[in-house]
Amino acid sequence: MGSVDLQTLFIIAVLLLIAGAATGFLAGLFGVGGGAVSVPVLFETFSFMQLADEVRMPLAVGTSLALIIPTSIRSVRGHFKHGAVDLSVLRTWAVPILAGVVIGSFIARYADPWIFKVVFIGVAGLVSVRMLRGAGWRVSEEIPGKPVMSVYGLVIGLLSSLMGIGGGALSNLVLSLYSTPIHRAVATSSGVGVLIAVPGTIGYILAGWGKPALPFDALGYVSLLGLILLLPTSILTTRLGVRIAHRLEKRKLEVLFGLFLLAVCLRFVYAVAFG
């Protein structure tokens, strides 16, 4: 890490605390782990700290996955109290998601930084378009059988581990394709975050173990300083997001989710195009 003075460290700390609040709020509101916020914020923060380019993105992704663990647990507990979590879907997805996360963690050790950004752009853009269009993308009125759902789980785990997200955006997309009500899809997606974040964090610690150019506080590809600063405010604001989610109309929740993802997508397009 490049040398930074106390004023710069203070600015970094304040930014991370604010990012933590936004991450927790979005975790509850949209049923996502908040990685779509924490990954770009961590990436910019690590750039500001003058970390080597080859470790910025995987370090942001790994730290984001670690952050998702407590926020997703609080989110799924809140939604579970409302009786909206589909436990049968979570049971079907558990093993395939784990397999996808393991594969993604292996890729993370050897992948170039731009791969993470391109995956982020592709998935965020697709889900954003789906949510902004509203009704129309329907495959069936019923959830498919276990083989098809297992494939979905594998893909969700793989892509989410490369993006540093809790899988909420992807699982929301899949469930909405099969006519799952948005509030139930959001609630179930919060459970997916737990399935992804725990093995994903372990995977990124191992993937980054012994890598050069990491900061002093890094445990593999997880920044302990970033985690400590983002965690308190993210935990505090998760419950607020859950409350608002259950008060919003279905279409308003879809539009908000779509606009949020579109903004993230455009940010990473800029990052890929201009560095």
Res 159: pLDDT: 92
Residue that the structure tokens 């106390």 belong to: 6
Res 3: pLDDT: 54
> Using CA of residue 230, residue 231, residue 236, residue 241, what is the dihedral sign?
positive
d(CA 29, CA 27): 6
211 SS3 class: coil
pLDDT along the chain (275 residues), means of 10: 68 81 78 72 82 89 90 81 84 94 90 83 82 73 90 94 81 83 82 89 94 89 90 85 81 81 81 75
Query: Contact, 225 vs 59, CB < 8 A?
Result: no
Res 92: pLDDT: 94
Res 94: pLDDT: 93
How many residues does the structure list for the chain? 275
